């Protein structure tokens, strides 16, 4: 079965010059993929003609508008019905594509995706999920910023969706789920975390219990559940720290001709280290909980990074993540509603 | 004027073997310091005798009990009135010392310090504050875990205390203060953050506005204000990521005899890099908002790390941080209560 991915070709800080080359490279790596490139048709076609792209597997879909990176989500939703972002998501809704990828404005993408595709039955609000590297491999962390305040029930939904994503991608059969908190004892944390912990414990998921910030990178669990405020701070703090450490390393190796010589000697090792910690390899966050696959690429990434976001969308479509999540959520809703836990007074 | 610091010699994962050598080294670096070493007097005196410590500047204060690292704070407070932690804090209360330092159980230390020393007028609850490295120098981040749920007023108090700490330590005359949030626009974030932002804006502090997680390490502001839940996750996530990056770097350089040779060539640079990112150099978190200086050392640190915690206590005592905070809080309370903002109905 072939997979069709709709690409918001205009999204991101750079737009076409990143998305089109990434799309062409991506096609060359997967013979079972077709792409719909959405945006300024004239510009896209000009770029395709100048390339050696497999044109038989590309369809260009014109969209006259572009959502600005700082545009208010609700205004974009209301006023830009012919934006490349929206038209790309429409392809998923209409069944023309199995997934949409955009490097555009996160808020607008979330609002548009939610409006166009709707959430799955049993899911209150979609979450932003990302596979993040750790000492043992990768783990799924969610929510990374879509939902500032979360109810315990929403945190349970995140746990279910994250576990299903990890399982569907074939990374783990029965993924362990941890709740991000500030202490390993159940008594710690705020009220929402306490109640969410109880729900997760009774959920039938492979629930580990509370985890702390350092557990994200230790790889203690396969899925880290958190509200969007805390998750976003953890993600951005990580980006900032990684950037600082890289800058310090560069500074030390370029301090003098002597340290530059040291760097030269260590170059093969430093290159491997750099490749291993390259954030572009982990680009592509999933908007989970929708009735279709939508992947958000980092707005400032390059063609390599964007290609990894396409890869994420492809893997999710191939493994039918949405079907798996829908099934599991349906099962869990029944669990949560079983008679002996319903208060009847 | 000489400074006396009371040391909980039994606290931490290791106890005496870390605290006593660190104390002796610390004394050798500051001729104006006296120490009160609190704990098992026989064991401490034996260690001192076997060393070349300046005994005329050390007083050993016996304490028969030790608070366990996992002991419930309220139980420790109730049952261990002769713990090394409590007796050390008593030295500050009694005026025998200007500061207390402990590597013990954070929760117990906070509960005991709060009970014994009380909070300053105008401060609801103390916060854990830490000077953290960034691209430009250091910034103060608080709260790092003492207060899970915070009111907007508490966040304002944190801002005031953090700014006063940075100013008193002589790092910046009018420190900029940022509120940790998930977007740079005022409209983002949860309700508490929104209200806290308004209070900070009207506070007379050098308020920058919202900052995101990456700004902590960018050095965008001198003081980063956050609730204890988010702050703790940011801190622990940073610890986890730093640990993972260090592990990856080590793995790459020890992969084969060839990479080990590369490491050897790059050793002077790698050493400098390691020293620069050494977390022990930033050890020592301040329990701010109390009527006395209490510094918490990381429980698992070594003598070098513990020495930096002693250094933090010394600097705070020397610069009269408590006096400065008390003054500023008093001024701000008046500001907050000025007639035209008081609702009179």
| DSSP code for B132 | E
Of A145, A230, A249, the CB nearest to B273: A249
Question: Model confidence over A277-289: pLDDT tens digits?
Answer: 888 999 999 999 9
- Which pLDDT score is estimated for B342? 41
Of B237, B262, B270, the CB nearest to A237: B237
Whether A345 has a pLDDT exceeding 80, the answer reads no
CA distances A297 to A281, B86, B130, Å, are 11, 52, 34
Of A149, A189, A248, the CB nearest to B276: A248
Describe the strand order of the beta sheet including B99-102 as a list of residue ranges. B58-62, B33-39, B3-8, B99-102, B293-296, B285-288, B127-133, B138-142, B223-225, B176-180, B206-211
Of B217, B240, B267, the CB nearest to A218: B240
Instruction: Say whether A87 sits in a helix, a strand or coil.
Output: helix
Asked if A248 lies within 8 A of B145 by C-beta distance, the reply is no
Tens of pLDDT, residue by residue, chain B (345 residues): 799 999 999 999 999 999 999 999 999 999 999 999 999 999 999 999 999 999 999 999 999 999 998 898 888 989 999 999 999 999 999 999 999 999 999 999 999 999 999 999 989 899 999 999 999 999 999 999 988 888 999 999 999 999 999 999 989 999 999 999 987 544 556 788 889 999 999 998 999 999 999 999 999 999 999 999 999 999 999 999 999 998 998 888 888 888 888 888 888 888 888 888 888 999 999 999 999 999 999 999 999 999 999 999 999 999 999 999 999 888 876 654 433 444 434
Looking at beta carbons, which residues of chain B come within 8 Å of A244? 133-135, 217-218
- Show the tokens assigned to A293: 């696959």
- Which pLDDT score is estimated for A35? 98
Asked if A248 lies within 8 A of B189 by C-beta distance, the reply is no
Whether A343 has a pLDDT exceeding 50, the answer reads no
| Residues B228-263: b if buried by 16+ CB within 10 A, e if exposed | bbbbbbbbbbbbbbbebbeebbeebbeeeeebeebb
Place of tokens 């002991």: B71
Whether A334 has a pLDDT exceeding 80, the answer reads no
Q: Where are the beta strands (DSSP E) in B187-335?
A: 206-211, 223-225, 285-288, 293-296
CA distance A215 to chain B (A): 7
Task: Output helix, strand, coil percentages for chain B, rounded to the nearest 5.
Answer: 50, 15, 30
CATH superfamily placement of domain A1-123+289-320: Isopropylmalate Dehydrogenase (3.40.718.10)
Of B216, B247, B269, the CB nearest to A253: B269
Reported as half-sphere exposure (CB side, CA atoms, 13 A), residue B197 has a value of 20
- Which pLDDT score is estimated for B335? 53
Question: Model confidence over B13-24: pLDDT tens digits?
Answer: 999 999 999 999
Asked if A269 lies within 8 A of B253 by C-beta distance, the reply is yes
| CATH number 3.40.640.10 given to B1-122+289-319 | no
- Which pLDDT score is estimated for A228? 92
CA-wise closest residue to B112 among B72, B63, B161? B72
Query: Other C-beta atoms within 10 Å of A304: how many?
Result: 15
pLDDT (mean) for A34-48: 97
CA distance A83 to chain B (A): 24
Dist CA A212 CA A184 (whole Å):
7
- Show the tokens assigned to A297: 């690429």
Of A188, A213, A247, the CB nearest to B233: A213
Looking at beta carbons, which residues of chain B come within 8 Å of A149? 190-191
Question: Model confidence over A196-206: pLDDT tens digits?
Answer: 999 999 998 99
Dist CA A306 CA A45 (whole Å):
19
Question: Model confidence over A97-131: pLDDT tens digits?
Answer: 999 999 999 999 999 999 999 999 989 899 999 99
Question: To probe the interface with A, which of B217, B235, B275, B282 has the most A CB atoms within 10 Å?
Answer: B217
Of A247, A253, A270, the CB nearest to B135: A247
- Which pLDDT score is estimated for B267? 85
CATH superfamily placement of domain A127-281: Isopropylmalate Dehydrogenase (3.40.718.10)
Whether A73 has a pLDDT exceeding 80, the answer reads yes
Residues A27, A58: contact at Cβ < 8 Å?
yes
Task: For B70, name the nearest residue in chain A, comparing CA atoms only.
Answer: A185
Question: Model confidence over A266-313: pLDDT tens digits?
Answer: 888 888 888 888 889 999 999 999 999 999 999 999 999 999 999 999
- Which pLDDT score is estimated for A290? 97
Looking at beta carbons, which residues of chain B come within 8 Å of A241? 216-217, 238, 241-242
pLDDT (mean) for A235-256: 91
Asked if A214 lies within 8 A of B263 by C-beta distance, the reply is no
CA distance A61 to chain B (A): 32
CA distance B25 to chain A (A): 29
Query: Other C-beta atoms within 10 Å of A195: how many?
Result: 15
Question: To probe the interface with B, which of A141, A148, A253, A266 has the most B CB atoms within 10 Å?
Answer: A266
Asked if B228 lies within 8 A of A262 by C-beta distance, the reply is no
Task: For A235, name the nearest residue in chain B, comparing CA atoms only.
Answer: B213
Instruction: Say whether A142 sits in a helix, a strand or coil.
Output: strand
SS3 sequence, B135-178?
Answer: CCCEEEEECCCCCCCCCHHHHHHHHHHHHHHHHHCCCCCCCEEE
Looking at beta carbons, which residues of chain B come within 8 Å of A213? 232-240
CA distance B69 to chain A (A): 13
Which ipTM value was assigned to this complex?
A: 0.90
Dist CA A294 CA A287 (whole Å):
6
Asked if B236 lies within 8 A of A212 by C-beta distance, the reply is yes
CA-wise closest residue to A88 among A3, A4, A6, A5? A6
- Show the tokens assigned to B157: 């108090």
Residues B317, B143: contact at Cβ < 8 Å?
no
Asked if B242 lies within 8 A of A243 by C-beta distance, the reply is no
- Which pLDDT score is estimated for A340? 44
Read off the pLDDT band of A86 (50, 70, 90).
very high
Residues A286, A310: contact at Cβ < 8 Å?
no
Q: Mean pLDDT across chain A, nearest whole number?
A: 91
- In chain A, where the domains are located: 1-123+289-320, 127-281
Of B135, B148, B236, the CB nearest to A244: B135
CA distance B269 to chain A (A): 6
> Is it true that A1-123+289-320 and A127-281 share their CATH fold?
yes
- Show the tokens assigned to B137: 């120098």
């Amino acid at each position: 079965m072939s997979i069709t991915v709709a690409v918001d070709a205009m999204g991101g800080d750079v737009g076409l010059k990143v998305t089109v080359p990434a799309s062409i490279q991506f096609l060359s790596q997967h013979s079972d993929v077709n792409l719909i490139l959405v945006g300024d048709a004239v510009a896209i076609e000009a770029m395709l003609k100048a390339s050696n792209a497999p044109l038989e597997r590309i369809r260009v879909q014109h969209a006259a508008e572009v959502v600005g990176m700082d545009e208010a989500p609700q205004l974009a939703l209301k006023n830009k019905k012919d934006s490349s972002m929206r038209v790309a998501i429409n392809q998923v809704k209409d069944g023309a594509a199995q997934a949409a990828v955009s490097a555009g404005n996160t808020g607008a993408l979330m609002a548009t995706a939610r409006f166009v595709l709707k959430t799955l039955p049993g899911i209150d609000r979609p979450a932003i999920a990302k596979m993040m590297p750790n000492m043992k491999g990768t783990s799924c962390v969610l929510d990374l910023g879509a939902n500032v305040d979360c109810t315990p029930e929403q945190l349970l939904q995140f746990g279910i969706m994250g576990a299903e994503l990890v399982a569907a991608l074939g990374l783990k059969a029965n993924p362990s789920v941890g709740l991000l908190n500030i202490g390993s004892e159940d008594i710690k944390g705020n009220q929402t975390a306490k109640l969410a912990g109880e729900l997760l414990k009774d959920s039938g998921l492979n629930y580990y219990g509370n985890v702390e910030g350092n557990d994200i990178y230790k790889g203690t669990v396969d899925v880290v559940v958190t509200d969007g405020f805390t998750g976003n701070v953890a993600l951005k703090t990580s980006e900032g720290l990684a950037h600082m450490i890289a800058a310090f390393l560069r500074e030390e190796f370029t301090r003098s001709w002597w340290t530059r010589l040291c760097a030269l000697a260590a170059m093969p090792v430093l290159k491997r280290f750099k490749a291993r910690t390259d954030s572009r390899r982990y680009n592509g966050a999933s908007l989970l909980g929708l009735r279709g696959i939508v992947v958000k690429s980092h707005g400032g990434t390059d063609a390599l990074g964007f290609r990894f976001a396409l890869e994420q969308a492809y893997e999710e479509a191939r493994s039918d993540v949405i079907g798996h999540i829908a099934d599991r959520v349906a099962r869990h809703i029944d669990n949560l509603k079983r008679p002996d836990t319903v208060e009847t007074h």
